[in-house]
Amino acid sequence: MAQTAGYEVMIEGKAYPWDKDTISVSDIRKLSNMPTGAQVVEEDLRDGTERALTEDEVMRPGRLDAGKRPTKRVNFRQR
């Protein structure tokens, strides 16, 4: 039986399944095929704010619960 991801990461408007409770800036780049060294920005979809992430930051992706939408509405994108 296939194991499903317990988390979801939104990158440039696309949802990616993720199986860990944390994700690094480097992981975000790899997952979305961003160039190495590209600046990653976190966008809060609730209030419209954004901030550039530092290389050593570790984020917590939105948890997936059966039958529910993720509650954490954050998108990552390349600047």
Write out pLDDT tens, residues 10-41: 999 898 999 999 999 999 999 999 999 999 99
Position 39 in a domain: yes
Please give the residue that has the higher pLDDT: either 76 or 55: 55
Total structural domains within the chain: 1
Range of 23's domain?
7-78
Position 66 in a domain: yes
Position 54 in a domain: yes
Give the pLDDT of residue 62: 80
Position 1 in a domain: no
Give the pLDDT of residue 63: 82
Give the pLDDT of residue 11: 93
Give the pLDDT of residue 2: 47
Position 2 in a domain: no
Position 43 in a domain: yes
d(CA 41, CA 12): 10
Confidence of residue 75 (pLDDT cuts 50, 70, 90): confident
d(CA 8, CA 43): 15
With beta carbons less than 8 A apart as the criterion, state whether 38 and 26 touch.
Answer: no
